[in-house]
Amino acid sequence: MTLQRTLSPIRTYRNFIAGQSVLTRARGLARDAAIRLLAAGRSPDKAGIRFPYYHHVFDDERGGFARQLKTMASMGDFISIDDAVAMLDSNAPIDGRYFCITFDDGFKNWATNAVPLLLDAGAMAAFFVVTGCIGTSIEDDRDKLLDFYEQGDLLMEFLSWDDCRAMADGGMTIGSHTINHVHLTELDDAAAQAEMQGSKQTIEAELGRACDHFCCPFGRENVDFTAPHHPGMAARAGYKSFLTGHRGAMRRGASSMMIRRDHVLAGWGDYQLKYFFSS
Ligand SMILES: [Zn+2]
């Protein structure tokens, strides 16, 4: 555990990955080189909805995120998650390329970095919060916050409910990412339901507006959720969507209760976006 990383909250991607092993970084570089080659042979989808998903826009990722928003704007149109779900549920043909940007977990850098850049770009996004972490303080809740990541030495600052209200007032959507960032498959049905319902009730009480969208923590089918069990449970709790961590475009006929998303880091180059937004 490095002292510097636990003393103050992480504000840069550079510090966020400072504890990664040499092997992890070497693998990342090899993968990056492969994607650069493969991207040259691909062209973006002709039609469909892509759900890029981020966790953070750190201070040193602002420039990259602004560039990515420009790149996406040149490829298609930004739509809200309400519109994306309505398009999927209508079962009408989806002509054109659309981006519904999403964020998971609830970090403070959404309010300080991501939202201002989204507003500048005229884009909206859906932000999925772990309600048990919203309103925590890095002084009083240090142990809980250090537990958020397995490494145990990454101190992340989370949003306040005032931040969430300001984001919603600015046109962003706040959705649920459970109360405790759980693996749903490790819980019995009553506990999984409580995570879905409790987080929804808290968001609705704090924001004074409906919370219609649910994003499954970790998001892997048969590892972190099972289908149709957990999407069905979310539907019964009143959610209109269930978002996963599996990649791919959403086209006509795809279910809003099994939304595929493309994980993106704000520092990635355009060739990486081009690669992942192609199929
Ligand atoms: Zn998460």
Residue owning tokens 């989808």: 45
What lies within 8 Å, CB to CB, of 216 at 6+ separation is 184, 224, 225, 230, 242, 243, 244, 245
Dist. CA 40 → ligand 1 center (Å): 31
From CA 104, how far away is CA 175, in angstroms rounded? 9
Radius of gyration for the chain, computed over Cα atoms and rounded to the nearest angstrom: 18
Say how far apart CA 171 and CA 148 lie, in whole Å.
28
- Ligand 1 is an ion; its neighbours by CB within 5 Å are 104-105, 217
**Cα 91 to averaged position of ligand 1 atoms, centre (Å):** 29
202/211 Cα distance (integer angstroms): 9
d(CA 211, CA 171): 14
In tens, the pLDDT along 227-254 reads 999 999 999 999 999 999 999 999 999 9
pLDDT of 84-93, one tens digit each? 999 999 999 9
Ligand 1 center to residue 141 CA distance, Å? Answer: 19
Instruction: Give the chain's domains with CATH numbers.
Output: 20-276 (3.20.20.370)
* Cβ neighbours of residue 188 closer than 8 Å, sequence gap 6 or more: none
Going residue by residue through the chain, which has 279 residues, state the pLDDT in tens, using 9 for 90 and above: 455 566 789 999 999 988 888 788 888 888 888 888 887 777 777 789 999 999 999 999 999 999 999 999 999 999 999 999 999 999 999 999 999 999 999 999 999 999 999 999 999 999 999 999 999 999 999 999 999 998 888 999 999 999 999 999 999 999 999 999 999 999 999 999 999 999 999 999 999 999 999 999 999 999 999 999 999 999 999 999 999 999 999 999 999 999 999 999 999 999 888 888 887
Long-range contacts of the stretch 85-93 (C-beta < 8 A, 24+): 85/212, 85/213, 85/240, 85/241, 85/256, 87/49, 88/49, 88/250, 88/254, 88/255, 88/256, 88/259, 89/240, 89/256, 91/252, 91/253, 92/252, 93/252
Q: How far is it, in rounded angstroms, from Cα 125 to Cα 77?
A: 12
The 3-state DSSP composition of the chain as helix, strand, coil percent (nearest 5) reads 45, 15, 45
% of the chain beyond a pLDDT of 90: 81
Please give the distance, rounded to the nearest whole angstrom, from the Cα atom of residue 147 to the centre of ligand 1.
13
